[in-house]
Every structure is written in C-alpha cells, then in structure tokens.
Chains A and B, each alone.
Chain A
C-alpha cells in the first residue's frame, strides 16, 4: 500500500484517530536509541560551546579575512530547512493542493525546530552570548540603539517574525488534533492535553472561526516564506564582496531553502512512515510530489548557478570573474563540485517516475541534497571571504574542532526536539485527513 502512487484514505474517522494516536506516548527501544544518539550529539555541541565561552571566540577557526565561517554556513542551512514547512502548510493550503495533507504537520514541526536551531547561531557567533539582548531595540539609559542599516539586524527581525508566525501557525493547526488526543487519553496526561486544546469542542461555530483564522494565518505566513530567506540573502548581496553582490540572491536563496526543506521532509518522514505504518496517510504519492518540488527547485538553483557564471563572465568585472573561476578550480573546488553534484546532478534520476517512486532512491537522493545545500552555503560564505579583493589576505579557512562540535550539536538539538514532538503530538494532521473521507452522515455510506 505504501508503494501506491495514488493517495490512500482510511475508511472512517475512527480509523484515522486510532492509527495516528496509537504511536503517541509509547516509545519503543529504537526511539530511545535515537534519543540517546541525538542527546549525545547535543551534549558534544554543548561542550564545544562551553570551550568557546571559557577560552573565547579565538578557539573557533574564524579570523581575518574569514570572519564568517561554519556558524553562518550552518545558520543559513537551518533557516533554509525551516522553509519547507511553511511552504507546504501555508502556500500549498492557499492553492488547495491536496498532497500537503499527509505531510504538512511533520514539515511544520521541522520548520519550528529548524528555526529554533538557526536562532542559536547568531548567539553562538557573538562570543559573549550574554550580551545577545543588544540585538533588540529597547529604551535604555545608555542610548544604545541597534543599527537598522545593518542587514544583520534585518535578520533578527525577519527570523524572529518568521519563528513567531510559524510557531503560532503550527499550534493553531494542532488544536483540533490535540482535542482528539485529549478525548482518547486518561489521567494526568489528559489534563495537559485539555490545557493545550484550549477548550476545543469541535462545534460548528468553533470550526467557522477556526477556518477563517487558519486562512488568515496562511495568507500571513505565505509572504514570510519569501521574505525571511530573502533577508538572509541580503546579508551577502548588499555587500560589495565579489561572489556575494548579486541581485539574483533573494529568489535563489528562497528556491534553495525550499529545495533543502523538501529534501529534509523526505529524509525525516520516509523512515517514520515505514516505522509507524502510516501508509494510509502518507505514501509514495506524497513523496513523489515532494520529489517533484525538489526537481523544480533544483532546476531553479542550477539556473541561478549558471546565470552567476554567465553574468560574471559577461560583466568582465575582474573581481567578479576571478572568484567564480577560483571557486570551480581553486583550493575549495572540492566543495564547489560537491555542491554541483549534490544539488544539480543527484536529483536528476527523479525525472524517471519509477526512480522517484522508489523509497531507497528517494531517501538516498534526499541525503545528497541535504549535504549539497550545506556545501552551497559553505561555498558562498567561505570562498568569497578567503579570496577577497586584497591578495595579501588570501588564505585557506578550515573550521576548528569547536566549530565542528557546535555544528554537530545543532543536529542533535534539532533531532532532540523532533523526537519529543513525535511522541507528544500527532505528526499527521488528523482533522485534515478526515476532510478526505466522506462524512459519516447516517445512511450515506450504506447507500453507497
């Protein structure tokens, strides 16, 4: 049934409730093993951060001219991962795309946790993390005020707005489902779900207001999908650094973010679907749509890479052209070609229907894309700074052990929250799944 390339449906509302709720609060040994793994990674990341706090930012490999390194690379990577959830939940909701139903809840959760992970990095990158409140404008007796002309400040506002809206949107979507879980639970845990369900009773009046609010939130969240990564791209594009100063960056970054986010949804949800036997709700048809989304965005990225090279040559600007030539042939060529192979070549097998319907091919290619998108950011951030205008400053940046540790720890942090979510909240949207089933009107099913 999982291999069907048409959408499946459960037969009744009750079946949908039971299938999705049964995995909650019943962790298996495999779950604990995964939780132990991600916790270990998180502790390693925490230890690395402790070392940085104790000995100062100097233990990170970033120094002149590479004042941005793996922290910014990983920050952009996680912001990118955080894109697919809102795209799938808000934009596909607005265009009434049916395939979102099975996958949007897990994608939204991924978004919220990815943005939570991304938000760590500006703090980590500060060195003196306790001064992070300087990011925010607030009246104070020393008349300190943030520099609104700095794109880094735009980031603070764009990403915190995105996080707020995504988290609220995620929670609003959950309310009817939490009420279902509440109705199927007992004891103290029922009280927790009662509190979270905000008194949801599923009355016609509640649904009326709920749907209106959900539509408004979707409309509010949709432009944020474009805005947040556009603002991140302007961190680079507004500078005159060769290889960064590019007008195509905003849509190119947004497309890249959707690409990596959809690939991450495949990476996370494919094993879960098989492990939890959710084939009536999420099957190969949904993954095929995600793969198609990746193919589209991979095409946009390939177009953007090619355009940068073409215009770099066309401009005859020596600084512009040298950085593009150096990326492909210099010391970081391995990173450049990893990016090209993972982002432009690896998804190509998905053009063949039988391959994009094969779970192994889906999973393996999605891993390639995740790797490729991390290297894309590495390629942009590191190479341009290593090879800037002044040849006397050229050098080869390589991340320190502390930077690697923090980066690995960020995956642990993300995985930790995602695993907790899987056990605490329905990872498939029960209420929306029911919209695909004929309502249980007395006599209707019998008459059919």
Chain B
C-alpha cells in the first residue's frame, strides 16, 4: 500500500466514533441560549423592527456563508484545482447547513419580517398602488411596481429562489460524496453511518462513480455558477436593497455574491485551523495550503474593496440625491458613521494589511484570527446594510449587543451543531477524488532523485 493510500485509509478510519468536540458543542449551545434570550428580549422588551432587522442580518449572513462555501467547492471542481482539494469536503459540509438557514428565513417571515420593508403594506403603499410618506423619489418608484414589491410575490420569490439554490447544492454535494462514501464503506463496513446507504444507492464501483462525479461536476459547475449569480443577486436585491425601495445600484448583487464567496473562504479557514485535530487534517492541509487559501482571502479582501469603491465613486461623483441618500445615512449620520468606519477597518484595512504577511498565512492561530476578523467584518457590514433601513432612529447599543450578536451567535450555534454532526460522519477530505493526488504533470526535483535511486 502506497503512502497516499495509507493516508486515505487513515482519513476514512478517523470517521469512526468522531463527533463535534465538547468545547465546540458547549460554545454552540451557549450561543443558542444567547440567541433565544436575545430574541425574547428584542420582541418583548426591545424594539420589534430592530429585532427583525437583527434576525434578517443573521439569516442573510449564514445564507451568504453557506452559499459562498458551496461556490468555493464549485470553483475548485470547475478549475480542476488540486491545491485546495483537501478543503472541498469542508466547503460542501458548510454549504450543507443551508437547510437550517432556509428554515430561519421562513421563521423570519412568520415572525413578521416584512415589517422591516418600507414598501410592505403597512399602509405605505395604498391598495390602488399609490405610495405615501417615503423619502426622495420613492412614491413614484413604488407606485410603478406594486406587483414586484407585493408581499405574496416577494415571499414566494425568496423561498423559490433560495429553494432552487438549495436543491442544486444538495445535488452537487450528493454527487461529490458518493464515490467517497463507496470507498469509505468498503473499509468501515457496518460501522459506517446508516444514512450513507441512501447516497451510495447500492453502487460499489469507486472508479466508475468517481468518473461519473467528475463528469457531472463539469456540467454542473457552469449551471451552479449561473444560478448563484442570478438567484443570489435577486435575493440580495430583494432582501437587502429593497429595504430602501427608491435606492438602486447595479453592482449591489455582484458585490454581495462575491463577498459571500470571500466569507465562505474565511469560514473554511476558520474550520481548518480550529478543527485540525478534530478532522485529522494534519496530513492533508499543509502550510502551503493555508498560504494559498490566505492569498485567495487577500484577493477577496481586495475585491470587496474594489467593488465597494466601484459603487461609491460614481455615486459620489454624480451626486444625485436619490443615490447619495443611502450612503449619507450610513457614512455621515453619527448614529451609523462609526459603524461604517469599523466596517472599513474589519473588512478591508486590517485583513488587507495582515494578509500581506506570508507568515500569517502559514501560522495556525494568527491565520485563524484573521479568518475570524473577516467573519466579524462581514457580519458588521451586513448589519450596516440592514439596520439603518430597519430602524430609522438612534442607535440602540444595548440591543445591538444583546439582540444582534445574540441572534448571530444563536444561528451560529445551530449551524455549528448541524455542521459538526455531518462533518463528523464523513471523511474530512474527498478520498476518492483524483485531484486530491499530486499533479502527475509536475516536474519535481525529487523525481530526478528517484531516477538516481535517492529517496
């Protein structure tokens, strides 16, 4: 048995008896408790609009995280990349938390989430299509699109759009898992989790299934990329941009879906650093891997800044009130301007500066810290997009700490438990994937050593 095969067998064997570490479970449960308390406080002792805004931030955040991680796996598959192949399964299992987020989105609507949208029928749009009482240019803009911004159609669009993405994600993950589970089942036998059989479907030929998966991956990649761009943009335009119904930016959808990919990468970086022992990644995720992932995170940081600036500059230069209003509220009003500065630091200045360092990308804990910084930064950035539209009054510091962070940690706890359960029950790397192996085309100096008989 070659050393590679031994590594694969070890990865498969480590599935036996693996579960989410006790510390992570405790933290997740504590987060859930905080979330429940935060929601209860928000709904019964705090402000409902604020609380719904906080819920929307977290739902949207985890939607972005899961879908971004999914796209990371799709990109690895489509580009036939080898360097990041050990991260593929983690990305897919993060995406597999999206059903939890889907349920959270339904809960958001059930709890009256539409209340945070100004166009929603709390008498701002009259039954005959005339809007009243909104800020610049809104009445005309809203009156002309009563059907697009009507409650039923709006909710249906979110559930169907997110649902389509979810179905595609599950199809992709299922296809990716199958050859690995067939291979792992041959080693684990009856010790394998029972749910594997539903995915394996009686198949036994690992090679044939790996080839079928590779083929499916090639045609699913563009389909998933296109669906992500279209549906995620629509979700963003609807769930976030339509909160200020008169405001529009063409780049908004693209900006959010690209930063979601960046968030997905940061979350993967967080998992591989914190869960190194739990998932037995020591043999697979080298310093070179984290270095490469760190470089991509740096690229993501720059792209976030670039696409943000691409929106700011034309709006600032043209100085059209219906466009500047959205920015002025967030960047100039004292209630929110401090948050925009914090976002600039956490999403761009700090990660950009830190990730320039080669060492940070190779050191475990500093790398974990910068991943957490990006995760926090994106949470604050999404908060800055949502909260000033949901709550048009003074900043509520206590509510922000109890409710916003509470809901974020609470959903984070739920997602962690779900991720922990399924991640524990599958091989942590795609063991049957050809691209997990070294590139046969690479010219290595050691190949010459071998030719000379040196080892």
- Interface contact A447-B451, CB-CB below 8 Å: yes
Shortest Cβ distance from B404 into chain A, in angstroms?
27
Of A18-26, A127-135, A165-173, A246-254, which binds chain B? Answer: A246-254
Residues of A with C-beta under 8 A to B250: 246-248, 304, 307-308, 311
| Total interface residues in chain B, CB < 8 Å | 38
- Interface contact A311-B313, CB-CB below 8 Å: no
- Interface contact A448-B451, CB-CB below 8 Å: yes
A303 to B227, CA, bound (A): 11
A321 to B263, CA, bound (A): 34
- Interface contact A441-B448, CB-CB below 8 Å: yes
Query: Is A211 at the interface (CB under 8 A from chain B)?
Result: no
Residues of B with C-beta under 8 A to A190: none
Query: Is A46 at the interface (CB under 8 A from chain B)?
Result: no
Shortest Cβ distance from A320 into chain B, in angstroms?
9
- Interface contact B314-A314, CB-CB below 8 Å: no
Residues of B with C-beta under 8 A to A248: 250-251, 254, 310
Known contacts A248-B254, A251-B307, A316-B145: A438-B314 contact under CB 8 Å:
no
Which of the listed residues B233, B248, B250 has the most CB atoms from chain A within 10 Å of its own CB? B250
Could you give 6 example pairs across A and B, Cβ below 8 Å? Answer: A239-B318, A247-B315, A307-B233, A307-B253, A308-B250, A436-B443
Known contacts A295-B222, A438-B443: A314-B248 contact under CB 8 Å:
yes
A324 to B179, CA, bound (A): 49
Query: Is A315 at the interface (CB under 8 A from chain B)?
Result: yes
Which residue of chain A lies nearest to B320 when distances are taken between CB atoms in the complex? A240
Residues of A with C-beta under 8 A to B233: 303, 307
- Given contacts A251-B307, A299-B226, A445-B451, 7 further A-B pairs with CB under 8 A are A234-B314, A247-B310, A250-B310, A295-B222, A438-B447, A441-B448, A448-B451
- Interface contact A245-B248, CB-CB below 8 Å: no
- Interface contact A299-B225, CB-CB below 8 Å: yes
A437 to B444, CA, bound (A): 10
Query: Is B349 at the interface (CB under 8 A from chain A)?
Result: no
Query: Is A435 at the interface (CB under 8 A from chain B)?
Result: yes
| Total interface residues in chain A, CB < 8 Å | 42
Residues of A with C-beta under 8 A to B254: 248, 251, 303, 307
Residues of A with C-beta under 8 A to B302: 223
Q: Which chain A residues in 187-239 approach chain B with CB under 8 Å? A: 223, 226, 230, 234, 237-239
Query: Is A50 at the interface (CB under 8 A from chain B)?
Result: no
A338 to B222, CA, bound (A): 24
- Interface contact A251-B251, CB-CB below 8 Å: yes
- Interface contact B443-A435, CB-CB below 8 Å: yes
Lowest 5 CB-CB distances: which A-B pairs, in order? A248-B250, A238-B317, A247-B251, A447-B451, A250-B310
Task: List residues of A whose CB falls within 8 A of some B CB.
Answer: 7, 98, 223, 226, 230, 234, 237-240, 245-251, 295, 299, 303-304, 306-308, 310-311, 314-317, 351, 435-439, 441, 443-445, 447-448
Residues of B with C-beta under 8 A to A299: 222, 225-226, 229
Residues of B with C-beta under 8 A to A245: 314, 318, 320
Residues of A with C-beta under 8 A to B249: 247, 311
A230 to B307, CA, bound (A): 10
A307 to B453, CA, bound (A): 60
Selected from B140, B306, B314, the residue in CB contact (under 8 A) with A226 is B306
Interface residues of A, dominant DSSP: helix
Residues of A with C-beta under 8 A to B306: 226, 230, 250-251
Known contacts A307-B250, A437-B443: A246-B314 contact under CB 8 Å:
yes
- Interface contact A249-B314, CB-CB below 8 Å: yes
Which residue of chain A lies nearest to B444 when distances are taken between CB atoms in the complex? A438
A436 to B322, CA, bound (A): 56
A188 to B168, CA, bound (A): 65
A448 to B448, CA, bound (A): 9
Which of the listed residues B237, B249, B314, B317 has the most CB atoms from chain A within 10 Å of its own CB? B314
Query: Is B230 at the interface (CB under 8 A from chain A)?
Result: yes
Query: Is B141 at the interface (CB under 8 A from chain A)?
Result: yes
- Interface contact B441-A251, CB-CB below 8 Å: no
A251 to B229, CA, bound (A): 14
Shortest Cβ distance from A349 into chain B, in angstroms?
14
Residues of B with C-beta under 8 A to A443: 451-452
Which residue of chain A lies nearest to B237 when distances are taken between CB atoms in the complex? A314
Query: Is B311 at the interface (CB under 8 A from chain A)?
Result: yes
Shortest Cβ distance from A290 into chain B, in angstroms?
14
A27 to B332, CA, bound (A): 66
- Interface contact B441-A98, CB-CB below 8 Å: yes
Residues of B with C-beta under 8 A to A304: 250
Shortest Cβ distance from A158 into chain B, in angstroms?
13
Q: Digit string of B238-255 for contact with A (CB within 8 Å is 1, else 0)?
A: 000000000011111110
Which residue of chain A lies nearest to B453 when distances are taken between CB atoms in the complex? A447
Shortest Cβ distance from B295 into chain A, in angstroms?
8
A310 to B315, CA, bound (A): 19
A414 to B222, CA, bound (A): 35
Shortest Cβ distance from A436 into chain B, in angstroms?
6
Q: Which chain B residues in 204-259 approach chain A with CB under 8 Å? A: 222, 225-226, 229-230, 233, 237, 248-254
Residues of B with C-beta under 8 A to A7: 441
Which residue of chain A lies nearest to B249 when distances are taken between CB atoms in the complex? A247
A60 to B148, CA, bound (A): 46
- Interface contact B248-A311, CB-CB below 8 Å: yes
Query: Is B167 at the interface (CB under 8 A from chain A)?
Result: no
Known contacts A314-B248, A438-B443, A447-B452: A247-B253 contact under CB 8 Å:
no
Which residue of chain A lies nearest to B316 when distances are taken between CB atoms in the complex? A238
Residues of B with C-beta under 8 A to A306: 230
A437 to B441, CA, bound (A): 10
Residues of B with C-beta under 8 A to A445: 451
Residues of B with C-beta under 8 A to A251: 251, 254, 306-307, 310
- Interface contact B447-A230, CB-CB below 8 Å: no
Which residue of chain A lies nearest to B148 when distances are taken between CB atoms in the complex? A314
Residues of A with C-beta under 8 A to B148: 314
Which residue of chain B lies nearest to A318 when distances are taken between CB atoms in the complex? B140
Which residue of chain B lies nearest to A240 when distances are taken between CB atoms in the complex? B318
A7 to B80, CA, bound (A): 15
Selected from B248, B318, B441, the residue in CB contact (under 8 A) with A315 is B248
A250 to B249, CA, bound (A): 13
Known contacts A314-B248, A438-B443, A438-B447: A230-B253 contact under CB 8 Å:
no
Residues of B with C-beta under 8 A to A303: 229-230, 233, 254
Shortest Cβ distance from B43 into chain A, in angstroms?
32
Which residue of chain A lies nearest to B248 when distances are taken between CB atoms in the complex? A315
Shortest Cβ distance from B179 into chain A, in angstroms?
22
Which residue of chain A lies nearest to B141 when distances are taken between CB atoms in the complex? A316
Residues of B with C-beta under 8 A to A98: 441
A444 to B452, CA, bound (A): 6
A213 to B250, CA, bound (A): 39
Which residue of chain A lies nearest to B229 when distances are taken between CB atoms in the complex? A303
Query: Is B171 at the interface (CB under 8 A from chain A)?
Result: no
Residues of A with C-beta under 8 A to B252: 247
Query: Is B144 at the interface (CB under 8 A from chain A)?
Result: yes
Selected from A223, A237, A295, A310, the residue in CB contact (under 8 A) with B314 is A237
